[in-house]
Amino acid sequence: MRCDYDVWAPRASTVSIVLDGETHEMTPAGDGWWTTDVPWRGGVDYGYLLDGEGPFPDPRSRRQPSGVHGLSRTDDPRGFEWHDAGFTPVPLADAEIYELHIGTFTPEGTLEAAATRFDHLRSIGVTHIELLPVNDFNGEYNWGYDGVDWYAVHELYGGPEGYRRFVDAAHQAGLAVIQDVVYNHLGPSGNYLPTFGPYLHDASANTWGASINLDGEGSTEVRSFIIDNALMWLDDYRVDGLRLDAVHALVDHGPVHLLAELSAAVDEFAQSEGRSVSLIAESDLNDPVMFTERSEGGHGLTGQWSDDFHHAVHVNLTGETIGYYADFESVGALAKVLTKGFYHDGTYSSFRERDHGVPIDRENTATWRLVVANQNHDQIGNRAIGDRLTATLDADRLAIAAALTMLGPFTPMLFMGEEWSATTPWQFFTSHPEPELGEATAKGRIAEFAKMGWDESSVPDPQDPATFERSKLDWSEPEQPEHARMLALYQRLAELRPDLVELTFDDVAVSYDEDARWLVLDRAPYVLVVNLSDSPVDVTAVAPQAGEPLLDTAAFLRSAPLAAETLGAPHSVVVARRA
C-alpha cells in the first residue's frame, strides 16, 4: 500500500498537497514524481494543487467520500481483521461463475446486502462471484464502466471497508470473488488524470473515447498505474481473480503487451503469496493468444469470454438473426462452437464485413479456458430494452440454454436472476449530474442500435431513475411456482456438475441433424441429447452411446417422473450417463 502522498504529475511545474485544510509544498523526486515529508495518516482528507489549480483528487485515491470531484481520503487496509484463513478458491476448471451488479442485485444495492444471498448462490453450485465494476464513478448509480477513480470503491456500495467485509464473508462461505476491472477507457465525468500526466493517448480512440496511453511518452508510469491497481485488488482486498474488460480496446504497440506484463506480475504475486489467481479477458478478437503461455508468445491469462457460444445458443433458441447474430443461424454453428470454441476462427464475419478470429489448438487446449454464458450484462443490457431471454422464451427453451451452459464443455457463468428466469429487465442506466452529459448518453445509446435493427423509440432513458429501479431483481419471484421450478432445475444441474471431467477440445464430440434440429453433445461422463425442434426425437436412435438417463428437462419442469418412453420431447434436453 502507499504509505505517503507521493504523486506522479509530470505536467505540473509546481505541486502542493492540501491536507486537513493546510497546504504543503511538494518537491520533485524525479521522473515526474513529487514527494513530501508530511507523515501519512489514515482517515485524512487531501487533494493536490497543480500549478495553483485544484485541489484535485489523488489519481490513486482509495476513497472519495464526497464523490469524484471531491477530496480523497486515506484508507488503511492493514487495520482490517480477516477471518478467511485457509480459504482456497476452486480452480477455474471446476468453477461456476455468477455475474452480479451490486446496485441491482438486492433492493438495498450494497455489498452488505449482497452478502446475505450467499446461501442462495451456493445452492445453485456457484463457486465464484464476479462483481461488475465497483470503482468510483460520478453519480449515484451506474453500470460501473464510467469509472474514473480506479483505486476507490464506490461509497454507496459500502466503500473500501464494506468491500473487504464482503470478500471476507464470501471466503468464509467458500466463495471466491472475481472483480471486473476496466483498463481500456475512463468515464466522462471526474477524470482528472490527464491534468496530472499523459494517461490518455490522443492519437487513438475506442468506442468510449481516447485510448489509454500504453506505448507513448510517459506510458511506463501509466502501465505501472494499471498493474499496481490490479495488485491492489489482489493484495488489499484479497480478491481471487480479475475480469479484464474489453481488452481488444487496449492499443499497445510496445515490445511486451500490457496483458503479458500484467499476467507476469500477477503470477509473481500469486506465487509469493501461495495463492491461486485467475485473469479472465473479455475479448472480441477470438484469438487464443489471450490464454497461450507467455513462453509460447501468448499473454498468459487464465481464460477468456466467448461470445460465440452465447450467439449460437441465442439464435438457435430465439430465431433472432439480425446484426451480429446473423452468422449463427444453424444447428451446425452451435456444433462448431461446442467442438472448436470459436465459430469465427478465421472465417468471414458478415457483421464485421471481414474475416475474423484464429483457430484454437484443439489437441492441447483445455475447454475450460473459455468462459461462456447464455445471458450476461452485455448481452442483456446492450439490447434496446434490456430484455432477458425470459421475455422471449418459454421454460422449455430456457432449460435448454441452462443445460448447455451448465453441463457443456466450458466454464459456465450465470447472470444474476437467470437461475429463476427473472422477469425484471436489466437496462442501461446512468445518473450523470451534468444534464448535457445525460442527454449525450441517451442520444448515443439510441445511435448504437441502428445496425442491430432494433426499434430506437423503445430505448429507455438511461437517466430516468425508473430505468435503474426496473433493473433491480425481484427476490419474491423465486417463491412463485413457475420460477421455483426453474430454480430447482439449476440446482439439479449443479448437482450433476461435480462429475464433469476436464477436457481438451479434441475430447468433445458432437453429432447433429440440421433439418430435424437435434444435437448430441458427448462430453464425458455425460451425453446431452438436445432437441431444438417442435417434434419428439428418438434418443436411443440419435445417441446409442447414451446410458442411464439422469435428467429430462421436459419432465423435470412438469414435475413428472423420469421415464424412458417420454424422453426426447420437443424443446428438451436429456442428460444421460455415457454407456
Which of the residues 58, 99, 136, 245 is marked catalytic? Answer: 245
pLDDT value at 3 more than 60? no
Neighbours of 43 (CB within 10 A): 10
pLDDT digits (tens, 9 = 90+) for 232-248: 999 999 999 999 999 99
pLDDT value at 443 more than 80? no
pLDDT value at 542 more than 50? yes
List residues forming the annotated binding site for substrate: 243-248, 307-311, 377-382
pLDDT digits (tens, 9 = 90+) for 79-119: 999 999 999 999 999 999 999 999 999 999 999 999 999 99
Q: Report if residue 41 sits inside a domain.
A: yes
pLDDT value at 447 more than 70? no
Mean pLDDT lowest for which of 312-316, 389-393, 436-440? Answer: 436-440
pLDDT value at 364 more than 60? yes
Q: Report if residue 247 sits inside a domain.
A: no
pLDDT digits (tens, 9 = 90+) for 380-416: 999 999 999 999 999 999 999 999 999 999 999 999 9
Q: Report if residue 525 sits inside a domain.
A: yes
Q: Return the closest-CA partner of residue 261 out of 301, 216, 289.
A: 301
Q: Report if residue 203 sits inside a domain.
A: no
pLDDT value at 449 more than 70? no
Q: Return the closest-CA partner of residue 463 out of 185, 137, 140, 186.
A: 140
Select from 38, 59, 79 the last residue of a domain: 79
Q: Report if residue 36 sits inside a domain.
A: yes
Here the CATH number for the domain that contains residue 62 is: 2.60.40.10
Q: Report if residue 62 sits inside a domain.
A: yes
Going by pLDDT thresholds of 50, 70 and 90, the confidence category of residue 4 is: confident
Which of the residues 282, 287, 327, 419 is marked catalytic? Answer: 282
CA 394 to CA 398: how far, in whole Å? 6
pLDDT digits (tens, 9 = 90+) for 423-433: 999 999 999 99
State what percent of residues in the chain have pLDDT above 70. 96
Select from 47, 79, 111 the last residue of a domain: 79
Residue 353 falls in the annotated catalytic set: no
Select from 40, 59, 79 the last residue of a domain: 79
Residue range of the domain that includes 33: 7-79
Q: Return the closest-CA partner of residue 372 out of 404, 339, 417, 420.
A: 404
pLDDT at residue number 2? 46
List residues forming the annotated binding site: 243-248, 307-311, 377-382
Domain count, the chain: 2
Going by pLDDT thresholds of 50, 70 and 90, the confidence category of residue 459 is: confident
pLDDT value at 1 more than 50? no
Here the CATH number for the domain that contains residue 519 is: 2.60.40
Residue 273 falls in the annotated catalytic set: no
Going by pLDDT thresholds of 50, 70 and 90, the confidence category of residue 291 is: very high
Mean pLDDT of 278-299: 98
Q: What spatial distance separates the first Cα and last Cα of the chain, rounded to whole Å?
A: 56
